[in-house]
Amino acid sequence: MDRPQSEIRNPQQIVVSTNQGKIRLDKFLAAAVSGVTRSRLQQLIKEGNVTVNGERTKASHLVQPGETIQVNQPPPQPTDLIPEEIPLRILYEDDHLAVIDKPAGLVVHPAYGHPAGTLANALVYHFKNTSQVAGGFRPGIVHRLDKDTSGLLVVAKDDQTHAALSAQFKRKSTQREYAALVWGRPKPGSDTISSFIVRSEKDRRRMIVSDRRGKWAVTHYETVEVFSLHTLLRIRLETGRTHQIRVHLAHRGHPVFGDPTYGGRKSRLQGLSIANTKFVAELLDHFMRQALHARVLGFVHPLTNEELHFESSLPEDMEALLQALRQRGESGSWQ
C-alpha cells in the first residue's frame, strides 16, 4: 500500500496533506504509522488514543486535508497472565521472533474454560519480551492452531515484527502446509475448496460453509496415501479461517479422522462391516483428537528479509495411527 500524502512531524503526529483523497481514518493510519496493525489502530481509536484536531472520533471517520491527527500509543499494561513453566519445542529463535512446534492438547491462549496452562502462559515464561499487538492475553500470538491440532506456529517478540508478520499472512505470502487423515477417498484426488465460512447460529462452537456471508476461505488438497476407509492428504492453506480445514473437508463429506466437532469420530462407523467397525473403533479409542498436523511453515523474516522455512515431523500419535493402517495391508498410492 502506498503511504498516504501527509507530513509527519513526529512519530505520533500527522498533518494530512492538501491533496489527500477521502479515506477511512484507520486505513489512513495503517499506511502512515509503521509497525502497528490496523486492528491495533482501531483499538487505539476506540480507546480515545487517536484524536483528529484534538477531538475523539471513529475509525470510519474520513480524513480531510489539513487535519492534524495525534496517535498516542500507551505502554503495554501489566496483565494477570501468569508465566508457567510449560515445556516448549522451539525450532528457531532470535531477538524478534520464534517458531514453536506446538503439541496437540495445548490451547494457544486463555479463553472460556481454559484460563491457564496455555501457550501464552508458556511464552511469557520462556521469553523476556513478547509483542502486545493482539492484547495482553495473547502475547506474541500472530496466528493460532486449534487446541487438538499439532504443529508449527510463529510468535513475535515485538510489535513491529508482529505487524510485519501479520501483513504477510494477510497478503497470503506465507507458506502453510498440513497433513490430515480423513474419512473416505476424496474425488478428485487433488482439488481446491473455496467458500465463505461463518459461525453457526445453532451451535456457536461450530463453523459452517455459507453461500453468501462470512469470511472467504480457500483450501487446496492433494492425496498422499490411500487406505481402505481413509486417505492421507497434504493440505495447503491460502487463507486461515477458524476451523477452515476441518469445515471444508467435512463439507465435502470427508471429515478429519477423530474430529469430534465435525463428524469425524464414531458416527462414521455406521454401515461398516463388523471387522472394520472393530478395527476403527479401537483406533478411535487410542486417538482422542483430530488427525491434523501443521507440518510446514514458511515466511520472510521482517528484519533480515531472509526466507525462512520450517518442517515438523508427524507427532508420535499420528505416526502410530498411520502405521496401524499400513500394517493392515491396504495402503497404496492414488489411482
Active-site positions? 146
Residue matched to cell numbers 522451539: 90
Burial 207-227 (b: 16+ CB within 10 A, else e): bbbeeeebbebbbbbebebbb
Give CA angle at 46 (42, 48), nearest 5°: 120
Residue 115's SS3 state is coil
Residue 14: CB partners within 8 Å, gap ≥ 6? Answer: 6, 7, 8, 29, 32, 33, 68, 69, 71
Percent of the chain that is helix, strand, coil (3-state, to 5): 20, 30, 50
Contacts of 32 (CB under 8 A, 6+ apart): 3, 4, 6, 8, 14
In angstroms, the CA 152 to CA 298 distance is 10
For 233, the 3-state DSSP assignment is: strand
Integer angstrom CA distances of residue 144 from 241, 251, 326: 10, 22, 31
- CA 65 to chain CA centroid, Å, is 38
H helices, E strands: number in the chain: 7, 15
Are the C-beta atoms of residues 236 and 220 closer than 8 Å to each other? yes
Pinpoint the alpha helices (H) of 66-205.
119-126, 159-171
